Amino acid sequence: MGHITKSSWVPSVPLRVNAEGVEPAALLLGADGRVRGDADMVFEGQPVHPSGAVRHEQASLVLALHEVEADVERIVIAGVADGGALTALAPDGATVASYAVPGSPDATAVVFAEFFRESGGWKFGGIGKGYGSGLAGLVTEFGVEVAEAEESSEPAAAGPVPLAGVVKMPGQAPPADGAVVPSGPFPPADGAVVASGPFPPAEGAVAPGGPFPPLDRPYELVEGWEFGPVFEPFTILGDDDQVVTVDGRVPPGPVLVEAAHEDRGYFGVFPLDRRNKDGDYLFNTTLPDFTGSSVVPAPTGRALRLRVRADRRWVMRVKPVAAARRLQGTLRGYGPEALLYTGGVADLQVNFEGNEDGGGYVGLWCHEVAGRTGLTDRPTLLLNRTHPLRRTVPLPAGPLLLLFKAEGPWTLTVKELD
């Protein structure tokens, strides 16, 4: 079973965590030892954390420790069991940590172990604490809100024990405290060229494109949309990693950021907080010929700084939120996109095709923006999955700002209800 350890350093790489015969769950905890919201619990019924750093896949957990938000101090691993053996594997299959918990007749759920920050890295520590109140009682201790589970007369199925006994309240994804994301026109970084359209392709390279509208599409505002400041758009080009400082030409408030990354490779955009540390990512992808958009707040009282990580050339354009695409009829896209909905109560059909490997993440957050000047603190989480799908989700009446995240091509069709 590999080595058994009470506490040890682990590499900050994606780790696959298995608990033999158990469907594991992860709880992402802040400095106070509690989750920030129900979205900080990842398990079979809620398989992806909004940050994308923790996922439930095939009866195991994948922890991308290098992508975990700065506000998360500990990741606790639990499951419905009276004991068992937990193992953490590196990408090459090597065991980096493991811990065995003896079975207890009084326990119906157990905290196996935890991953915690120390001296700029991550350590693994065994815990082995059982709970007679089941998983619902266990997660409540860490601040997760649960609803009563309905009793079933069906016999328990053989195989891995599901996370029965925990019925999630409506999923909502809180933002990280103090996280600020891009806004405002960037002055060009040294050597960067500001242009009115997307960059020309390098010799032999394919320029960013696909079904997402190009960054030089006409400047248009959705009629009647009142959320976010209005200003002239701008474009900045870059190559490889850069830190960009935003000036004050854009008023504080939500703005639209469109981006494209040339060819293949990694592309990420991270706002820097007051301490010059990364906040929640704006873009974090390896999609080829990436294009995407999102909506984020321009801060008040200080310049916004963005850290861009890129393997190839990239372009970003900042516009008013009212310049985002409007969701009506059928739309097709590729990658994350911010969409505006101004219709009535409707059903939204989502067709996500997945990535090149047949998987990929898809998520949808809904901000009800009527009468608001900033993003909703706790947007409604409508979709959160890690595989291709066809699904219908309900939409309330607009005006809505929909933040759609997808690692591949997608089609959205909205059908208003009578």
pLDDT per residue as tens digits for the range 356-372: 777 888 999 999 999 99
User: What confidence tier does 401 reach under pLDDT thresholds 50, 70, 90?
Assistant: very high
Q: Work out the pLDDT band at 322, boundaries 50, 70, 90.
A: very high
Least confident stretch, 14-18, 161-165, 226-230, 349-353 = 161-165
Relative to beta strand 337-341, strand 325-326 is parallel
**Superfamily of segment(s) 7-147:** sav2460 like domains (2.60.60.30)
Q: What is the pLDDT of residue 206?
A: 31
**How many CA atoms, within 13 angstroms, populate the side-chain half-sphere of residue 35?**
23
Predicted confidence band at 342 (pLDDT cuts at 50, 70, 90)? Answer: very high
How far from chain centre, in Å, is Cα 399?
Answer: 23
User: Residue 136: its pLDDT value, please?
Assistant: 83
Mean pLDDT over 346-365 rounds to 89
pLDDT tier for residue 197 given thresholds of 50, 70 and 90 = very low
Sequence-separated (6 or more) residues with CB below 8 Å from residue 409: 210, 211, 332, 333, 334, 352, 353
Which pLDDT value is given to residue 212? 31
- Cα 64 → chain centroid: 12
Residue 196 has pLDDT above 70, yes or no: no
Q: Which two tokens stand for residue 400?
A: 């809505």
Alpha-carbon gap, residue 68 to 49, rounded angstroms = 10
Q: pLDDT > 90: what percent of the chain?
A: 30
CB 14 within 8 A of CB 68: no
- Can you tell me the distance from the alpha carbon of 172 to that of 311, in angstroms, rounded to the nearest whole number? 33
8 falls in which pLDDT band (50, 70, 90)? Answer: confident
In percent, the amount of the chain with pLDDT more than 70 equals 80
pLDDT value at residue 278: 79
The pLDDT of 211-218, averaged and rounded, is 46
Other Cβ atoms closer than 10 A to 379: 21
Separation of alpha carbons 124 and 113, rounded Å? 7
Structure tokens at 182: 């891009």
Give the pLDDT of residue 270.
82
Q: Which residue has the higher pLDDT, 335 or 174?
A: 335
> In the chain, where are the structural domains located?
7-147, 179-199+210-323, 325-416
- Region 179-199+210-323: CATH code: 2.60.120.380
pTM for this predicted structure: 0.55
Mean pLDDT over residues 280-307, rounded?
84
Q: 179-199+210-323 and 325-416: same fold?
A: yes
Quick check: 73 pLDDT over 80?
yes
pLDDT of residue 17: 94
The average pLDDT across 3-7 equals 49
pLDDT score of 316 more than 50:
yes
pLDDT category of residue 46 using cuts at 50, 70 and 90? confident
Q: Among candidates 126, 125, 122, which has minimal Cα distance to 11?
A: 122
Residue 166 is predicted with a pLDDT of 36
What is the arithmetic mean of pLDDT over 188-209? 32
Q: Topology of domain 325-416, per CATH?
A: Jelly Rolls (2.60.120)
pLDDT of residue 405: 92
pLDDT of residue 200: 33
| Rounded Cα–Cα distance for residues 78 and 88 (Å) | 14
Q: How far is residue 63's CA from residue 15's CA, in Å, rounded to a whole number?
A: 5
Mean pLDDT of the residues in the chain: 78
Residue 6 has pLDDT above 70, yes or no: no
